[in-house]
Amino acid sequence: MRFAVLGSGSGGNAAVVECGGLRLMIDAGLSAKQLSARLQSVGIDPKSLDGILLTHEHGDHVRGLKVFLKQNPIPVYTTPATARVVRETGIDGGTWKFFEAGQAFTLGGISVETFAIQHDAVDPVGFVLGDQSRRLGFLSDAGFVTRSMTERLRGLAGLFVEANYDEGLLEADTKRPWSIKQRISSRHGHLSNTQVTELIREISHPALGRVVLGHLSSDCNTPDIILNRLRACLGELGHGHVGLHCAGQHEPSDWFDF
């Protein structure tokens, strides 16, 4: 099992996962041209994808979907509510497959578990993908980590999770009005470094091999801040072996194997 982040941030989000001979893209928030180019740069022919999983309908997660599906008419897996909002924008390509938040289903040899998350979208979800031996969690754009979410993310081999902002940097930011700061830090906004650190403290275990952090604010967070916090946390717990990486906006990550 392996995955790569094609891009992560307010400018667009997408990742690709390979497991059991299946290739899935999670979200399509970059332009179709960039999605294709970045897939090819990590050795994936876009036409070889078996499907696209959508976390929610915001533009930075679906921006390239319309054109990409015209070029590559593959299945899209999402909730009915998210599909309704996305398709109202005129997207009519591909084949749409529906699940309810909290439902689990299988694709080939991969188990896909879904869970509801807290965000200002119509029906946002996170994913846990894998087989009996290895599981990858995927949590993006969530304002609050519930107990149910934490339980779904236990026992993972790898995790992608947003670490959007540092509380001190957000408070000191002069570019954002107070209303935007309130939205970001609300229970339906984005995850802070403190929230991510507490989540990792809760779910870390000896078999957790990799945590990839995404959706970092270019103004209100830095890789050094969150990486140093997590290294200290994991070292304190005796899990200093866990690999840590911050995904970027402008180029794909390397492949992460599990």
Report whether 104 contacts 123 (CB < 8 A): no
Residue range 6-38, pLDDT digits in tens: 999 999 999 999 998 899 999 999 999 999 999
Q: Which residue has the tokens 């000191």?
A: 172
Judge contact between 152 and 205, C-beta under 8 A. Answer: no
**Mean pLDDT throughout 203-232?**
97
pLDDT above 90: percentage of residues in the chain: 83
Closest by CA position to 69, among listed 96, 36, 37, 94? 94
pTM of the entire structure?
0.95
- For residues 125 and 116, is the Cβ–Cβ distance under 8 A? yes
Q: Where residue 133 falls among pLDDT bands split at 50, 70, 90?
A: confident
Residue 92 pLDDT more than 80?
A: no
What is d(CA 154, CA 163) in angstroms, rounded to the nearest whole number?
Answer: 18
